[in-house]
A and B are shown apart, each in its own frame.
Chain A
Amino acid sequence: MASSYILSVVTFAYLTCATLYLFSLVFKKSFLALIATVITWVTLGGHTLAIILRWVESYQLGFGHAPFSNLYESLVFFAWTITLVYLLVEKKTGHRAMGVFVIPISFLAMAYASFSPDISSKIVPLIPALKSNWLIAHVITCFLGYAGFATSCGLSLMFLLRTNHPETGSQDSFWVRLIPLSQTLEELIYQTILIGFLFLTIGIGTGAIWAHTAWGTYWSWDPKETWSLITWLIYAFILHGRMARGWSGKTMAILSLVGFMAVLFTYLGDKYLVPGLHSYGAK
């Protein structure tokens, strides 16, 4: 299948981008970061094309459905949303070095999807329970949420590294030009958490609507649902601390790392630890 081929190229392209971003920091060459940005945009284009192709291919197989139905497809989409959210943040702020901390997450998601022996990349038809437009809305919004949190996690790492690094005085210094100021980073961490929180909320809501039409209950405390609630509560905690008690960037950055752990647990925990309704295709 053409889509599988493109996706394997995309996986290596992300590795290349992450490496270029890293080299630009290590060797202090901003043109490397510029190249990285260009390649990342091109890769995102290829990635988009591959997802659309996979969609088309499922129709050619005679049971077309949106490519968001199993773990493989979800990981591919996860990487796509992370890259998209990151590139938008980069475009808005003009700070390229953040890629060092975010694009590797895209690469890891793609690599995990491609190389893990227990993840099948085969396009299979949908079982009746998964045939729902609410499910498509649920998956898309959840992953946009996850991507917001992933970006925020990358930025938090950067923030923590930066605060431990002496601020160079000159505005022209390389470090400052490539990495945003702590204050800017703090704001960006907050903004990306907001994106994540908004979409996670919509994701949980659309998931509840889907569960209600499929099983008659909008909330059944299955482990994945519960973990999404835990994630939601952690970020609600961060937002309240920030808004009502004026927590510092450092507290927020550390909690944002904790939050992303919960995101990963929500996403993958049930597959390995506590199986439930959502265990992709295993039901």
Chain B
Amino acid sequence: MSIKKKSIGEHVFDFFASVRLSLILLAGVAAVSILGTLIPQGEEPELYARYLGPRLFDIFESLGFFDMYHAPWFLFILLLLALNLIGCSLKRFPKTMGILKAPVRLDEGVFKKDEFHYQIKLDTSFERVKTFLTDVVARRYPNRPAQDDSPGKLMLYGEKGGLSRFGPYIIHTSVLLIFIGAFIGTRWGFEGRLTLSEGERSGLIHLKQTDLPKELGFSVRCDKFSVSFYENGMPKEYRTDLSVIEGGRVVEKAAVRVNDPFTYKGITFYQSNYGTMGDNITLGVRPAAGGEEKIIKLDPHMETPVPGVGLIKLVNFYPNLMKMGPAVKLAVAGDAEEPEPVVLFQKAPDFDKRRQAKYILTLKNFTERYYTGLQVNSDPGVWLVWLGCGIMVAGFLITFYVSHRRIYVLAQSQPDGTVITFSGRVNRNKLAFKKELDRLCRTVQADLQKAE
């Protein structure tokens, strides 16, 4: 007998196909995930540096601990898990098929070694028992029937629930589908943001990860944003009415609410946040030395040139800043190199005096307008994820709640009646199978005796 030496390929395959590796990987992903909840993920680098100190910060940074779930080594563990799933399944599949396809062997040896072994003795005639049992087994265990007849002796075989043996493969496939769906989503999908004030229209979003702009290929207009409240002041509904504009005309109108997104050409719009912004803002400009005040209109999107001051740009509008009422934050580019930040409160017209500039700015008038913050996503892989979830649940039901039940029955004629031996095999749920066989024995006994 020669011992066949395993090739490198076989070694690699065995490594990936071992349950030990599965257990290590499952525990590994769990351990890493725990670490990821202990270290807050995706915070500002300064925050980490302050807590960890420079040395630990550098180590953690280089290990990708601040965005662990996207770190290359974490993805590598997931890849190993996927390979392990495939390896285990490939290794075991031939065995499974072997069990399901193996020819049924019917001899008395079968009846000795089983865990589920029952014997009953009846004074019913062998012929009666034979017709009865053949019928019962065919009805209850209809798959792959086998029968062996000899005078005074009958052996029967039947099975059901062979599907349950495929359960683990179905579950493993579903996990792979979810992985593939997630990969497709990350690789070819995008997540972006779009902020629109009422009446504003745009076809350009900003990507979340990179903050780069992206063209949608069509544009959307926010026709109206509304928010409603319950009597106790809690928010009840946020709603944006959108128009999709393509080729210069409105092609579709839709409402976007929280939990009720809108999809157009594979791109989905989610209600994400909202706020108010100032529009039609007018400022007053008067020389500090005294003189007539001029009123200027501020363009909310562009720098507005103001004679004697420079360029004024709106940075932000606050409906109620520091509980002091409406305010604007401006960037004023005058003679200085850097634009100067200026805050104006409508209710405090002299506030700007403290800057001691050559002119004094005041916030005169504005109209308040809602803007809506939309999340704009495309995920071409999500359907695979849902498919995977569905198949996984189906796989669980098949694996856990269907069992491969095989039954052997032996009936032997004796001078004073018939001895029936039941013997069963099951791949799982032994308790339930034992009950099932108990019931079968009782039924057989009762029915045959009743028929006397």
Contact = CB atoms under 8 A, between A and B. Distances in A.
Do A and B make up one complex? yes
Interface of A: 62-63, 124-125, 127-129, 131-132, 184, 187, 191, 194, 197-198, 201-202, 205, 208-210, 212-219, 221, 223, 226-227, 229-230, 233-234, 236-237, 240-241, 243-245, 274
Interface string B236-280: 111000000000000000000111110000001011100000000
B191 A217 contact: yes
Contact of A218 (B237, B238, B382, B393): B382
A243 B22 CA distance: 12
Contact of A208 (B40, B389, B428): B389
Interface string B367-398: 00000000101010010011001001100110
Given A213-B261, A230-B34, 10 more contacts: A125-B232, A197-B396, A198-B397, A198-B400, A216-B268, A221-B36, A233-B26, A233-B33, A245-B23, A274-B38
A127 B235 contact: yes
26 contacts: A62-B231, A125-B234, A127-B235, A128-B259, A129-B258, A191-B431, A194-B396, A205-B389, A205-B393, A208-B389, A213-B261, A214-B258, A215-B375, A219-B182, A221-B36, A223-B37, A227-B37, A230-B33, A233-B30, A237-B23, A237-B26, A240-B22, A240-B23, A243-B168, A243-B428, A245-B19
Contacts of A223: 37
Nearest to A235: B26
Nearest to A130: B259
A194 B429 CA distance: 11
Residue among A124, A128, A131, A226 with the highest chain B CB neighbour number at 10 A: A128
B121 interface: no
Given A128-B259, A216-B270, A63 B230 contact: yes
Given A131-B258, A214-B258, A241-B23, A229 B33 contact: yes
B144 interface: no
B234 A124 contact: yes
A233 B41 CA distance: 20
Main secondary structure of the interface of A (DSSP, over half): helix
A221 B69 CA distance: 8
B27 interface: yes
A263 to B, nearest CB: 13
Contacts of A245: 19, 23
B29 interface: yes
A245 B29 CA distance: 20
Interface in B178-231: 182, 191, 230-231
Contact of A237 (B27, B69, B230, B431): B27
B87 to A, nearest CB: 13
Contacts of B347: none
Interface in B1-34: 19, 22-23, 26-27, 29-30, 33-34
B393 A201 contact: yes
A184 B375 CA distance: 53
Contacts of A197: 396
Contacts of A241: 23
Given A240-B19, A245-B19, A184 B259 contact: no
Contacts of B259: 128-129, 131-132, 210, 213-214
B438 to A, nearest CB: 14
B270 A214 contact: yes
A72 to B, nearest CB: 16
Nearest to A202: B393
Contacts of B261: 213, 216
B26 A209 contact: no
Residue among B30, B38, B40 with the highest chain A CB neighbour number at 10 A: B30
Nearest to A205: B389
B83 to A, nearest CB: 16
Contacts of A198: 393, 396-397, 400
Q: Which 9 A-B pairs have the closest CB atoms?
A: A128-B258, A205-B389, A233-B30, A244-B19, A216-B377, A216-B270, A237-B26, A125-B230, A132-B259
A162 B375 CA distance: 56
Nearest to B395: A201
A221 B230 contact: no
Contacts of B396: 194, 197-198, 201
A212 B393 CA distance: 19
Contacts of B389: 201, 205, 208
A202 B386 CA distance: 11
B384 to A, nearest CB: 11
Residue among A184, A208, A219, A244 with the highest chain B CB neighbour number at 10 A: A244
A245 B21 CA distance: 12
B442 interface: no
Contacts of B400: 194, 198
Contacts of A62: 231
B430 interface: yes
A241 B22 CA distance: 10
Contacts of A230: 30, 33-34, 37
Contacts of B430: 187
A128 B257 contact: yes
Contacts of B270: 214-216
B413 to A, nearest CB: 35
Contacts of B23: 237, 240-241, 245
A142 to B, nearest CB: 14
B232 A213 contact: no
Interface string B25-59: 01101100110111011000000000000000000
Nearest to B38: A274
Nearest to B36: A226
B97 to A, nearest CB: 18
Nearest to B375: A216
B296 to A, nearest CB: 40
Contact of A233 (B29, B235, B397): B29
Contacts of B258: 128-129, 131, 214
A128 B236 contact: yes
